[in-house]
Amino acid sequence: MTSPSRREFVVHREPINRHGRIIVVSGPSGVGKGTVIRRVLEQVPDLALSVSATTRPMREGDIAGTSYHFLSQQEFEVGIQDGIFYEWARYKNNYYGTLKRTVAERTATGKDIILEIDIQGARQVKSLAPNAVLIYIQPPNFETLEKRLRGRATETERAIRERLAAAIDEQNSVEADYAGHYVITNDNLDACTNLLITIISAERHRMIRPEPEN
Ligand code: 5GP
């Protein structure tokens, strides 16, 4: 037997250098996912946030083109027909959707991209991109979620009740939707932020399966 040689030993290029992952972050309204994501973006290099399109009215603090691309219902429906959306969903009588262009740009810019979208969108991405990483942020308990929602002075009682009912439905589908993916609890902002950063760091080392072109 010839002796093993150094030439036969393949050191693999770490997947960390191959950017362009889709990271989908979902969770009930009021769980604090926006704050967690903002902190993660400040700390993790080569990571961008997808700007979705929506037909919901602008809220105080929203910036057109940064928070969302704000479209009329008609513009959105034409967009659906023209196939401009990677995924889209109706959420409380408004349309929300991720633009195909935005997802395509992730490879051009070489950055991983976070999609902060609802669970209906997460399901679509899971079937479109088998390597997408799904992360669900849950509150530590119902009372905390209710308190956080009530703390937002902008919501009407009816809106709060609707959001809580939606959160219960979502919470009950997590086991089925997130098998093989991640669920984290936002009990403490720093801990939750660090956990999300840890998941993204670990995912950057995971060898991916070849994906069909979208
Ligand atoms: P908000 O109106 O509070 O900004 O968002 C309402 C919900 O819509 C949130 O759960 C948010 O994650 C979700 N959402 C935002 N953009 C998209 C999108 O592009 N696609 C889908 N499916 N959901 C979205």
Q: What is the pLDDT of residues 24-39, one digit of tens each?
A: 999 998 999 999 999 9
CB within 6 Å of ligand 1 — which residues? 29, 52, 56, 87, 89, 91, 96-98, 116-118, 120-121
Kindly report, residue by residue over 198-211, the tens digit of the pLDDT. Answer: 999 999 999 887 77
The set of residues, in sequence order, having a beta carbon less than 8 Å from that of 75 and lying 6+ positions away, is: none
Cα–chain-centroid distance for residue 40?
12
Please classify residue 74 by burial: count the beta carbons closer than 10 Å to its beta carbon, then call 0-12 exposed, 13-18 middle and 19+ buried: exposed
The maximal CA–CA distance of the chain, rounded, in angstroms, is: 78
Question: Tell me, what's the pLDDT at 66?
Answer: 95
Question: Tell me, what's the pLDDT at 32?
Answer: 94
The set of residues, in sequence order, having a beta carbon less than 8 Å from that of 102 and lying 6+ positions away, is: 50, 51, 86, 113
Lowest mean pLDDT among 5-19, 20-34, 46-60, 133-147: 5-19
Q: Which atom of ligand 1 is nearest to the CA of 94?
A: 2
Q: Cα(89) to centroid of ligand 1, in Å? A: 8
- Measured between alpha carbons, how far is 80 from 124 in angstroms, rounded to an integer? 15
CATH 3.40.50.300 matches 22-204: yes
Q: Which atom of ligand 1 is nearest to the CA of 52?
A: 19
pLDDT at 41 over 90: yes
Query: What's the DSSP call for residue 68?
Result: B
Please classify residue 23 by burial: count the beta carbons closer than 10 Å to its beta carbon, then call 0-12 exposed, 13-18 middle and 19+ buried: buried
Kindly report, residue by residue over 45-66, the tens digit of the pLDDT. Answer: 999 999 999 999 999 899 999 9
pLDDT at 214 over 60: no
User: Which of 7, 128, 3 lies closest to 115 in space, CA to CA?
Assistant: 128
- Return the exposure string of 123-132: e unless at least 16 CB atoms fall within 10 Å of the residue's CB, then b: bbbbeebeeb
- Measured between alpha carbons, how far is 138 from 7 in angstroms, rounded to an integer? 49
Q: Which atom of ligand 1 is nearest to the CA of 121?
A: 22
Ramachandran class of 139: left when φ > 0, alpha when ψ lies in -120 to 50, beta otherwise:
beta
Question: Tell me, what's the pLDDT at 3?
Answer: 87
- Measured between alpha carbons, how far is 85 from 98 in angstroms, rounded to an integer? 6
Pairing of strands 94-99, 85-91: antiparallel
Question: Tell me, what's the pLDDT at 208?
Answer: 80
Where along the chain do its domains lie? 22-204
Dihedrals phi, psi of 126, to nearest 5 degrees: -60, -40
Question: Tell me, what's the pLDDT at 212?
Answer: 64
Assign 213 a pLDDT band (cuts: 50, 70, 90). low
